[in-house]
Structure 1
Amino acid sequence: MAAPTSPLVLPSSPRTGALMATGSMLCVQVGLAASVGLFDRIGSTGTAALRLLWAGLLLAVIARPRPSAFTRSGVAAAAALGTVTAGLTILFTEALARIPLGTAAALEFLGPLGVALLRGRGRARGWALLAALGVLLLTNPWQSGLDPAGVAFALAAAACWAGYILLTRRVGDQVAGLTGLGVSMPVAGLVATIVAGPSLVGSIETGALDLSVLLAGLGIAVMLPVVPFSLELLALRRLTTAAFGTLMCLEPAIALGVGVLFLSQTPSPAAAAGVAAVVLAGIGAERAGARRAQFSTSAS
Structure 2
Amino acid sequence: MRQHLLPLGLLLIAMLSIQYGASIAKQFFPLAGAAGTTALRVSFSAIMLFIVGRAWKHNISKGNFFILLAYGLSLGLMNLTFYFALERIPLGIAVAIEFIGPLSVAVLASKKRVDLLWVALAALGIYLILPTSEYSGSLDPIGILFVLCAALFWALYIVFAKAAGKHGSSLQVSAWGMVFAALSVLPFGIFLEGDRIKNPSLWPMGLAIALLSSAIPYSLEMKAMRNIPAKTFGILMSLEPVVATVIGTIFLKETLEPIQWAAIFCIVIASAGTSLSHS
Please tell me the TM-score bracket, short chain as reference. Answer: 0.7 to 0.9
Please give the TM-score of this superposition, normalised by the length of structure 1. 0.70
TM-fit CA distance, 1:134: 7.9
TM-fit CA distance, 1:96: 2.6
Task: Name the structure 2 match of 1:40.
Answer: 30
1:278 to 1:87, Cα distance in 2 relative to 1, 3 A: closer
Task: Name the structure 2 match of 1:168.
Answer: 161
- The farther-off stretch of 108-117 and 96-105 is 96-105
Which secondary structure does the structure 2 equivalent of 1:120 belong to? coil
Q: Deviations over 1:152-206 (max 9, x none)?
A: 322221110111122223333442241111101111112211121123421167x
Task: Name the structure 1 match of 2:208.
Answer: 219
Quick check: 1:153 aligned with 2:146? Answer: yes
1:88 to 1:283, Cα distance in 2 relative to 1, 3 A: closer
Distance 2:96 2:111 in 1: 23
1:82 touches 1:184 (CA, 8 Å); kept in 2?
yes
Distance 1:53 1:210 in 2: 14
Q: Which amino acid in 1 is paired with 2:206?
A: G
Q: Deviations over 1:74-98 (max 9, x none)?
A: 3332221111111011112222334
Distance 1:152 1:188 in 2: 21
**Identity among equivalent pairs (%):** 28
TM-fit CA distance, 1:72: 4.1
1:178 to 1:20, Cα distance in 2 relative to 1, 3 A: farther
Matching of residues 1-300 of structure 1 within 5 Å: 24-66=14-56, 72-122=62-112, 125=115, 128-129=118-119, 132=122, 135-136=125-126, 140-141=129-130, 142=133, 143=136, 147-203=140-196, 209-211=199-201, 213-229=202-218, 235=225, 239=230, 244=234, 249-258=238-247, 270=259, 284=273, 288-290=277-279
Q: Deviations over 1:51-80 (max 9, x none)?
A: 011001000000012455655443332221
Q: How many residues align?
A: 270
Distance 2:137 2:64 in 1: 44
Distance 1:83 1:117 in 2: 23
Q: Deviations over 1:107-166 (max 9, x none)?
A: 4333122112212343772674476268449x7333366555433322221110111122
Please give the TM-score of this superposition, normalised by the length of structure 2. 0.75
**Gaps (5+ residues) in structure 2?**
none
TM-fit CA distance, 1:223: 1.3
TM-fit CA distance, 1:41: 1.4
- The farther-off stretch of 50-59 and 166-175 is 166-175
1:247 touches 1:281 (CA, 8 Å); kept in 2?
no
Distance 1:266 1:91 in 2: 23
**Gaps (5+ residues) in structure 1?**
1-13, 291-300
1:84 touches 1:160 (CA, 8 Å); kept in 2?
yes
